[in-house]
């Protein structure tokens, strides 16, 4: 990988906000932040921290991490941000230490005593500024977790740090505005898509497919008692028509009953990036819609964080063992294909195709082989990028940073630098990135680095390979 | 609220330079904003995209699906990028006076 040139460094770290705003908020960060109460910040940070510790299980993790952390920096080799910047502040265990040291000083007996004896003033406003900057340089890809000899999950600490910061008003504006629309706005989704526009878009896609394949491929809306409630990243309804066409075509082929609910149709959950409180509120919206339509499963579209937030936290907040099962669309499609209910033309795509593992799907080993088996079933020229699967490299726009347009030069020059080399090395015509977040970031990345590769979703390509029976299945 | 001054006029815009009140849009807005989105001259093709976006927004309250925009205006996506270097969701929408897209757009 080429080191950052002086010019690139300047662009990546250029100030994006007006100096007055930075001065007024006392926050030298590059992402935009809505105005918030600045006075007495350290005290309010500690109060928020204490409240979170009281009502959650984070204390268990922090107690353990605080004792075992060796600060050995082995994680540095895994961090694509540190490898690009070479700045020691970007080493994951340094980032974690920013918060762990606050915990040690203020929330342990020995730390409080030592503070009194040594006259340590404790948390300062400067430390809060440092955390606000550092925690959003991380893409929360969790790759460093594998290299840590003590098993510290640095992304969990980053998440907690962002959670506490959000409680005192420090949240990237792009995330805050979207979440406000989702939870309290008229449209109830992050991209502010009204139901009329949703229906218009879906009708248009059905017409396109009718024209293309000569058969009726519907998007069922508000079907009571359907098996699957479908929740893609809502941005798919604006940006990824091709992916949605693939999704609908799979259901047309299998004949399973699915539906999009007009009460709630957004899989996006930015709570995963910065607030457990919001994570829960968004999941409760999914639960309400699932109950309204009496569905039996929740199906998340091609989106990494939407899938992970629902798969792993829906049971936590919405009924435990009784909670509805959560399925990712690629799991669904893969199973249908395995069962022989979905037939694919083996030579539908002859161009070189590679696969990018979205961190939120692959890091835990959840959706790794399914998309590969599907791709190999209809692409004659499939190549892997390295490293891959659980050890994949992040697109560079994870952890919510992709929504912040002001960070674009940082994301493409620093965060995605390793990824750009990786994609270029495959020489692929198509890079399949089954995640709304990764798609946006990778498109900006290939544009910045002038790589001749088209970023698509898995279902975009699969759509070209589906063989439809002449009879309507299930009837 | 930041203000954007151009050609002797002042517009109220957000931090990303999008019009704060999409209702106050006139054709002059598109002309005045073109420079900051890397558009040197507004041709007939530009107006076709801008007018389609504007009318769709007035009817539905949001920008159309990209695929629909391409189909209805007859331009391929790369042609739209050639006209509006920052893309349909950012550059074209800004000139058509739509609010800044939120979420993963």
pLDDT value at position A470?
Answer: 64
Give catalytic status of residue B70 as yes or no.
no
The residue from B36, B70, B93, B104 that is catalytic is B104
Tokens at residue A243, please?
């992916």
Inter-chain residue contact B60 with A440, CB threshold 8 Å: no
A99 vs B16, higher pLDDT? A99
Q: Is the pLDDT of residue A427 over 60?
A: yes
Max CA distance (Å), chain A: 82
**What distance in Å separates residue A73's CA from the closest CA in chain B?**
33
Q: What is the mean pLDDT of residues A245-253?
A: 98
Q: What is the mean pLDDT of residues A260-289?
A: 97
pLDDT digits (tens, 9 = 90+) for A285-295: 999 999 999 99
**From start to end of A363-472, where are the E strands?**
379-383, 430-432, 454-456, 466-467
**B103 chain-A contacts, CB cut-off 8 A:** 178, 189-192, 233-235, 266, 268, 403
- Give all domains of chain B, ordered by start, each with its CATH number: 3-95 (1.10.10.370)
Tokens at residue B74, please?
């007859």
**A178 chain-B contacts, CB cut-off 8 A:** 102-103
| DSSP per-residue codes, A48-69 | HHHHHHHHSSHHHHHHHHHHH-
Say if CB B22 and CB B56 are below 8 A apart: no
Residue labelled with tokens 């002086």? A6
pLDDT value at position A469?
Answer: 81
Say if CB A324 and CB A295 are below 8 A apart: yes
pLDDT value at position B6?
Answer: 84
Q: How far apart are the first and last CA of chain A?
A: 56
Q: Which residues of A98-125 are buried (b: 16+ CB within 10 A; e: fewer)?
A: bbbebbbbbbeeebeeeeeeeeeeebee
pLDDT value at position A165?
Answer: 98
Query: What percentage of residues in chain A have a pLDDT greater than 70?
Result: 99
Query: How many other C-beta atoms can be found within 10 angstroms of the C-beta atom of residue A201?
Result: 23
Nearest CA in chain B to A436: B104
Residue labelled with tokens 């909670």? A323
Inter-chain residue contact A237 with B65, CB threshold 8 Å: yes
Say if CB A84 and CB A1 are below 8 A apart: yes
Mean model confidence pLDDT for chain A: 96
Nearest CA in chain B to A242: B67
The contact set of B with A (CB < 8 A) is 2, 15-16, 60-68, 71, 89-90, 99, 101-105
**A454 chain-B contacts, CB cut-off 8 A:** none
Asked if A360 is an interface residue toward chain B (Cβ–Cβ < 8 A), one would say no
Cα-based angle A411, A414, A415 (whole degrees, multiple of 5): 55
Nearest CA in chain A to B67: A241
- Give all domains of chain A, ordered by start, each with its CATH number: 6-171 (1.10.1060), 186-337 (no CATH), 343-462 (3.40.50)
Q: How far apart are CA A58 and CA A63, in angstroms?
A: 9
pLDDT value at position A474?
Answer: 47
B71, B70, B66: which is closest to B90 by C-alpha?
B66
**What distance in Å separates residue B46's CA from the closest CA in chain A?**
20
Q: How far apart are CA A459 and CA A432, in angstroms?
A: 9
Q: What is the mean pLDDT of residues A444-452?
A: 96
Q: Is the pLDDT of residue A214 over 80?
A: yes
Inter-chain residue contact A181 with B60, CB threshold 8 Å: no
Asked if A459 is an interface residue toward chain B (Cβ–Cβ < 8 A), one would say no
Q: How far apart are CA A244 and CA A67, in angstroms?
A: 48
Say if CB A91 and CB A138 are below 8 A apart: no
pLDDT value at position A475?
Answer: 46
pLDDT value at position A97?
Answer: 97
Q: What is the mean pLDDT of residues A31-45?
A: 95
Q: How far apart are CA A454 and CA A432, in angstroms?
A: 8
pLDDT value at position A18?
Answer: 87
Mean model confidence pLDDT for chain B: 91
């Amino acid at each position: 990988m080429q080191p950052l040139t002086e010019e690139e460094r300047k662009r990546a770290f250029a100030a994006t906000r007006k100096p007055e705003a930075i001065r007024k908020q006392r926050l030298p960060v590059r992402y935009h932040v809505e105005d918030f109460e600045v006075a007495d910040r350290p005290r309010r940070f500690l109060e928020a921290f204490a409240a979170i510790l009281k009502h959650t299980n984070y204390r268990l993790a922090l107690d353990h991490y605080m004792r075992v952390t060796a600060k050995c920096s082995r994680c540095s080799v895994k961090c694509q941000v540190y490898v690009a910047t070479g700045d020691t502040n970007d080493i994951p265990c340094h980032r974690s230490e920013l918060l762990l040291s606050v915990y040690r000083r203020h929330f342990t007996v020995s730390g409080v005593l030592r503070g009194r004896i040594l006259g340590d003033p404790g948390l300062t406003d400067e430390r809060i500024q440092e955390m606000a900057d550092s925690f959003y340089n991380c893409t929360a890809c969790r790759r460093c977790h594998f290299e840590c000899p003590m098993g510290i999950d640095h992304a969990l600490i980053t998440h907690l740090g962002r959670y506490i910061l959000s409680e005192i008003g420090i949240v990237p504006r792009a995330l805050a505005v979207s979440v406000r629309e989702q939870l309290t706005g008229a449209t109830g989704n992050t991209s502010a898509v009204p139901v009329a526009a949703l229906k218009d878009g879906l009708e248009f896609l059905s017409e396109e497919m009718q024209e293309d394949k000569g058969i009726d491929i519907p998007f069922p809306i508000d079907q009571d008692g359907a098996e699957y409630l479908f929740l893609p990243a809502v941005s798919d309804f604006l940006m990824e028509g091709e992916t949605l066409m693939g999704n609908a075509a799979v259901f047309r082929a299998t004949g399973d009953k699915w539906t999009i609910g007009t009460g709630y149709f957004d899989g996006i959950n930015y709570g995963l990036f910065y607030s457990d409180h919001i994570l829960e509120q968004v999941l409760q919206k999914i639960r309400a819609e699932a109950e309204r339509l009496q569905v039996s499963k929740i199906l998340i579209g091609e989106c990494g964080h939407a899938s992970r937030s629902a798969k792993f936290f829906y049971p936590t907040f919405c009924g435990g063992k009784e909670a509805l099962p959560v399925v990712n669309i690629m799991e669904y499609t893969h199973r249908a294909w395995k069962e022989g209910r979905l037939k694919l033309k083996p030579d539908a795509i002859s161009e070189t195709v590679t696969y990018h593992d979205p961190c939120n799907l692959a890091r835990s080993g959840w959706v790794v082989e399914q998309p590969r088996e599907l791709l190999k079933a209809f692409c004659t020229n499939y190549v892997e990028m390295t490293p891959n699967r659980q050890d994949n490299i992040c697109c560079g726009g994870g952890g919510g940073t992709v929504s912040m347009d002001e960070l674009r030069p940082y994301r493409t020059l620093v965060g995605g630098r390793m990824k750009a080399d990786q994609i270029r090395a495959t020489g692929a015509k198509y890079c399949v990135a089954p995640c709304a977040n990764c798609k946006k970031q990778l498109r900006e990345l290939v544009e910045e680095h002038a790589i001749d590769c088209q970023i698509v979703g898995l279902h975009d390509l699969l759509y070209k390979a589906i063989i439809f029976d002449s009879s309507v299945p299930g009837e | 609220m930041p203000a954007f001054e151009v050609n002797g006029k002042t517009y109220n815009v957000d931090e990303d330079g999008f019009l704060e009140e999409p209702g106050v849009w006139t054709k002059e807005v598109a002309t005045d904003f073109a420079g900051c989105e890397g558009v040197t001259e507004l041709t007939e093709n530009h107006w076709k995209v801008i007018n389609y976006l504007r009318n769709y927004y007035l009817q539905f309250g949001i920008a159309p699906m990209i695929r629909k925009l391409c189909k209805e205006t007859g331009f391929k996506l790369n042609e739209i990028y050639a006209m509006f270097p920052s893309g349909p969701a950012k550059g074209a929408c800004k000139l058509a006076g739509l609010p800044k897209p939120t979420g993963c757009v």
